[in-house]
Amino acid sequence: MSTTVIDDAPLPQRSYWQSLMRFCQRQPLGTFGLVLVVIMAVTGFSAELIAPYNPTANDFAAMTEPPSWQHLLGTDQFGRDLMSRIIYGARTALIVGMTSAIVGGFSGLILGVGSAYFGGTTDLIIQRLSDIVMAFPLIIMALAVVAIFGPGVQNVIMAITIPLIPRCSRVVRSSALTVREMPYVDAARACGFGATRIIMRHMVPNVMAPFLIMVTSFVGQAILAEASLSYLGLGVQEPVPAWGLMLQGGAEEYASTAPWIAIFPGVAIMLAVLGINLFGDAMRDALDPKLRER
C-alpha cells in the first residue's frame, strides 16, 4: 500500500537583493526609471559636493555663455552656472514633490479608509467634500492656495498637498470598501476590537498596494505643479534654485539667443517625471495581483 508524503516545509523566502534582481529582470523600464530617480536623489542631496559653482553667485562677466569646459551647461542671464543650479534644483523638486506626495497621500489614506469603514453620514460628508476639491484641476487649486497664502516653499507644498488628498482618498476608499466586507474584518468586530485597531491592523495593510502606486505618481505630479507655479512666479522665489524658476527667466526672452537657459532645465523636469512615472508603472505591475507575472 503506497503512502503519500506531504512536505510541510515552508517555501524559501526571497531576500531583498533577490527581489530587487527579479524586479530588474521583469521590469526593465521600471529599472530605468528607478535609476533616474536614484541619480536625481543622489545629485540633489549631495549638491554641495557635486556642484562646481555656487548656484546663487552672479558673474556678470560670464552672462549667457554657451556650454563650454568651464561651464558644461552654460550660464544664465546673470552669469550663474546652469549645471550647479540644475543640481540644486533637483533638491528643491524632491523636497516639494516628496513632501507633498507623502503628506497628501497619508492624509488621503486615513480619510479613505475611515470613510469606507464608518460609511453612512461620515462617508457622505467626506466624499462630497472630495468632489468639491476634485472639481478643480490640480494646478488651478494650487494657484488659488498660493494666491491666498503667498509664494514660498512651504506654501507651495501646502498648495500642492491639498488637491492630492481627495484623489488619494477616493482610490483608497474603493479598495477599502472591498476589504471591509472580508471575513477577517467581521471576525475582528466579533472579538470586540475597536474601530482604530481594525482600521490600522486589518484594513490599512491591505490597501497599501494601490496607495504606494498613487503616492509614486503624486511625486511626479507635484514636481510638475511646483515647476508650473514657479514658472508663473507664484512658487519658489529667487534666489532658491528651482527648475520652473529657471524656465521663467530664460524660456522666452533668451529663446533665440541663449536657448540652453531653457533647454537644460526643461530636460531635467522631463527626465525626473519620466523616471518617476516609469517606476510607478512598474510598481503597479509588480504589486497588482491581476497584472503580476507568474
| Inter-residue contact 73 to 233 (CB < 8 Å) | no
What is the amino acid identity at position 228? S
Q: Rounded to an integer, what distance in angstroms lies between the CA atom of residue 18 and that of residue 187?
A: 36
pLDDT band at residue 103 using 50, 70 and 90 as cut-offs: very high
- pLDDT tens digits for range 78-94: 888 899 999 999 998 88
Contacts of 182 (CB under 8 A, 6+ apart): 206
Full set of structural domains in the chain with CATH: 37-44+80-287 (1.10.3720.10)
Q: What is the pLDDT, as a whole number, of residue 14? A: 60
Q: Rounded to an integer, what distance in angstroms lies between the CA atom of residue 239 and that of residue 242?
A: 9
Helix (H, G, I), strand (E, B) or coil at 75: strand
Average pLDDT estimate for 118-145: 85
| Inter-residue contact 36 to 275 (CB < 8 Å) | yes
Residue % of the chain over a pLDDT of 90: 8
Across the chain, mean pLDDT equals: 82
- pLDDT tens digits for range 156-189: 888 889 888 998 888 888 888 888 888 888 888 8
- pLDDT tens digits for range 3-27: 444 444 454 556 667 776 777 777 7
Provide the β-strand partners of residue 75: 81
With CA atoms as reference, report the closest residue to 79 among 265, 250, 256.
250
